Amino acid sequence: MKPNGIMLNTAEIDREMIETMGDEHVGTSLETPLRADAFEVDDELKIELIEKHFREIMNIMGLDLHDDSLSGTPHRVAKMYVKEIFSGLNPANMPNVKLFENKYQYNEMLVEKNITVYSTCEHHFVPIIGKAHVAYISNGHVIGLSKINRIVRYFSKRPQVQERLTVQIANELKRILKTEDVAIVIDAAHLCVAARGVEDTASSTVTSSFSGKFKERSTKEEFMKYLELNTGI
């Protein structure tokens, strides 16, 4: 009901719910919401179709697409969506990660800090920018360091909610490494908070996932202390 006592119809209630979910950054599922036919259309056709629709959006906004600076924008945006910032939607782009035997017998935690996160808020399609800090304890196998970055990048390159991103990365690492001993912390700024709405440019959002031995207080504290180290690089 509106403040003046007028009843809302169903469409208005649905619209208010949708707006509230977006402003509160609420996600609905662990898996990224995708239709079953999401990849029946190839990338080139997707680029062509997105270019057409984005051109219409720019026309609706009154932009002059005959201007040299704007004429190529619909194609650039379409190509960027498919090939770059949303490339993580396509399972074909999943990093190829190989396991190696832990020949060094290194049984302490391995921590990779300050992995760059560039993602996109699924509610407003504006950037999420931050850092991911990942750790695991070997269960007899290890992966190349760069593969951790690539896994973070893969799940970041799609419309996201930070909580889901955190869990997706953690679950993938646990699956690949065949261990529950995985931890991840993400600290990120959301431009849907900074550039619109409340317009708070100072805040950031921190999410975490701790599994296996990282649920133990001493192991979790050790991991968090490593995040405070300044390597000077």
Domain ranges of the chain: 32-85, 100-228
Q: Supply the pLDDT for residue 196.
A: 86
- pLDDT averaged per 10 residues, the chain (length 233): 54 61 66 94 97 98 98 98 98 95 92 97 96 97 96 98 97 97 97 84 93 98 94 65
Q: Among this protein's residues, is 123 annotated catalytic?
A: yes
Q: Is 192 a catalytic residue?
A: yes
Q: Does this chain's domain 32-85 share its CATH topology with 100-228? A: no
Q: Please give the CATH number for the structural domain made up of 100-228.
A: 3.30.1130.10
- The answer to whether 105 is a known catalytic residue is no
Query: Model pTM?
Result: 0.87
User: What's the pLDDT at 28?
Assistant: 72
Q: Are 13 and 20 in contact (CB under 8 A)?
A: no
| Catalytic option among 25, 51, 123, 133 | 123
CATH H-level, domain 32-85: superfamily = GTP cyclohydrolase I, N-terminal domain (1.10.286.10)
8 A C-beta contact, residue 39 and residue 88: no
